[in-house]
Amino acid sequence: MEKNKKQYVVLGMGRFGISVARTLYSLGHDVLGVDNDEEIVQTLSNELTHVVAADLLDEETFKTLGLRNFDVAIVAVGDLEASMMCTLMLKETGIPFILAKASTSLHGRMLEKIGADKVIYPERDMGIRVGHNLADSNIVDYIELVDNLSIMEIGAPKSMVGKSLSEAELRRLYNVTVVALRRNGKMLVNPDPHDKIKEGDIMVILGTRESVKAMESKM
């Protein structure tokens, strides 16, 4: 297997599950999609590594999928009971990392209790991103991560154009780090502190929620 190539299984081929599965596959990973709707499975048969029609709540069927060999499982099932059952059975297979989708905070806490390593809230998080993007036209994207961290993509302010990253003093002023620059469609990861900020650059900034919001308010 290629270095950094992982095996993912996505349970539930709704809009969210399909989007995640397609993205992982496009990034070069092996992806198994599982859903109980044979029509959906047939539609996706040429878009992922493997797609299987199976009853996600049947324990015996679950065992035949050989999920213990996968690196990461994504529980994208919408129904609360089904997502709980899938998470529990995945935990019992010994899969190393389980990411589960939740619709409410209570749902999320229940998933964590039974073994989900990470819980995400797609609808809530998308609402946060849309709100930030609408409130400030300079913000390209905004994502809240775990452990009080946020990542923001922001168009380089005119006041910073021509300055190097070190001269912009973003770490000193706002306690944030520029982890990448998007320039002319290319992503420059871990840019050199002496790199000059150019007009049209998109800065990818990482920091605590408070520090990112403080910088956002000054832009």
Residues 134 and 55 in one domain: no
Residues 105 and 167 in one domain: no
Q: What is the pLDDT of residue 159?
A: 85
Banded model confidence at residue 134, pLDDT cuts 50, 70, 90? very low
Enter the tokens of residue 132.
Answer: 């930030």
135: domain CATH number is 3.30.70.1450
pLDDT in tens, 140-197: 455 555 556 777 778 888 888 999 999 988 888 888 888 888 888 787 877 888 989 9
Q: What is the pLDDT of residue 156?
A: 84
Residue 2 belongs to a domain = no
Residues 116 and 129 in one domain: no
Residues 45 and 61 in one domain: yes
Residues 208 and 192 in one domain: yes
Domain boundary, last residue among 120, 137, 162: 120
Range of the domain at 176: 125-218
Helices (H), the chain: 15-26, 38-43, 59-64, 80-93, 105-113, 122-135, 165-168, 170-174, 209-218
Rounded average pLDDT over 45-63: 88
CB 1 within 8 A of CB 71: no
Residue 1 belongs to a domain = no
Q: How many domains does the chain have?
A: 2
* DSSP code, position 34: E
Q: What is the pLDDT of residue 145?
A: 55
Residues 37 and 105 in one domain: yes
13-22, 92-101, 141-150, range with the lowest pLDDT: 141-150
% pLDDT > 90, the chain = 29
Tell me the C-alpha to C-alpha distance, in Å, between residue 145 and each of 9, 58, 149, 208.
22, 33, 5, 9
Domain boundary, last residue among 52, 85, 120: 120
What DSSP string describes 144-191?
A: E-STTEEEEEEEPPTTTTTSBHHHHTHHHHHS-EEEEEEETTEEEES-
Residues 102 and 131 in one domain: no
The answer, yes or no, to whether residue 120 has pLDDT greater than 90, is no
How many residues in the chain?
219
Torsion of CA 51, 55, 56, 62, to 10 degrees: -80
Residues 131 and 161 in one domain: yes
More confident residue, 152 or 129: 152
Please give the Cα distance from 47 to 78 (Å, whole number).
22
Banded model confidence at residue 44, pLDDT cuts 50, 70, 90? very high
Residues 71 and 166 in one domain: no
Residues 104 and 142 in one domain: no
Q: What is the pLDDT of residue 111?
A: 92
Q: What is the pLDDT of residue 1?
A: 46
CB 120 within 8 A of CB 99: yes
Residues 156 and 76 in one domain: no
Please give the Cα distance from 164 to 178 (Å, whole number).
12
6-10, 18-22, 111-115, 152-156, range with the lowest pLDDT: 152-156
% pLDDT > 70, the chain = 84
Q: Is 208 exposed, middle or buried (0-12, 13-18, 19+ CB in 10 A)?
A: middle
∠ CA 135-182-138, nearest 5°, is: 15
Residues 83 and 22 in one domain: yes
Domain boundary, last residue among 75, 95, 120: 120
Tell me the C-alpha to C-alpha distance, in Å, between residue 214 and each of 84, 133, 161.
38, 16, 20
Residue 104 belongs to a domain = yes
Q: What rounded mean pLDDT belongs to the chain?
A: 82
Listed residue (100, 107, 116) closest to 80, CA to CA: 107
pLDDT in tens, 61-95: 878 888 888 999 999 998 888 999 999 999 988 89
